Structure 1
Amino acid sequence: MKLLVVCGSGLGSSFMVEMNINDILKEFNVENIEVNHTDLGSATSDMADVFIAGRDMEEGISSLGKTVILDNILDKEELKARLESLLKEKQII
């Protein structure tokens, strides 16, 4: 499975969320999930299975496919809960 974190510029916030996702996947002992980040303008529907972004990017990524929208991209506990739900839905954990 591929996850793509999307933000306005594809630099700071999306990279930070990508690192947090990788940490959480390690906590869950989940491997074989590719995580990347990019800016909204470069994101295309074929780049990932699931797109992750903050609430401010929701409208921009909704047409790309399956999305996970974060109310607060700095809240690692929210991210962990959303990832756990996604991984259970996909029967990965």
Structure 2
Amino acid sequence: MAKVNTIMCICPAGLGSSLILSMNVEKVLEKLGRTDIVVKHSSLGDTYNGCADLLVVSADVYDQVKQYAPTVAIHNLINKDHIYEVLKQYFDENPDA
């Protein structure tokens, strides 16, 4: 697994949900000590192979983007504890990331 330098947060339109998710992901990454990772947000239509090292997406679009990069699904975009658990599990399972 390659090192994660960029995380892209994806929602259908790339505006509200992905922006909120990206802000919460940044806060969680600080808590995890991973301030080296750049967090961006985008729309489903602007997602492509290699657009980021890790995609963090709302659960409803997971199946539509998982082929582009390693992907984790978030079921509650505003619950930072949930986001923390999902990202911690990803980094624990992928220590080189």
TM superposition score normalised by structure 2 = 0.85
C-alpha RMSD of matched pairs (Å): 1.6
Q: CA deviation at 1:86?
A: 1.5
Q: CA deviation at 1:92?
A: 6.1
Answer 1 or 2: which has greater helix percent. Answer: 1
The size of the alignment, in residue pairs, is 93
CA distance in 2, matches of 1:18, 1:88: 20
Report runs of 4+ in structure 1 exceeding 3 Å deviation. Answer: none
Aligned to 1:70: 74
Moved more, 3-12 or 82-91: 82-91
Aligned to 1:17: 21
Amino acid at match of 2:93: E
CA distance in 1, matches of 2:25, 2:57: 12
Q: How does 1:30-69 map to 2 (within 5 A)?
A: 30-69=34-73
CA distance in 1, matches of 2:86, 2:96: 14
Identity within the alignment, %: 25
Amino acid at match of 1:67: T
TM superposition score normalised by structure 1 = 0.89
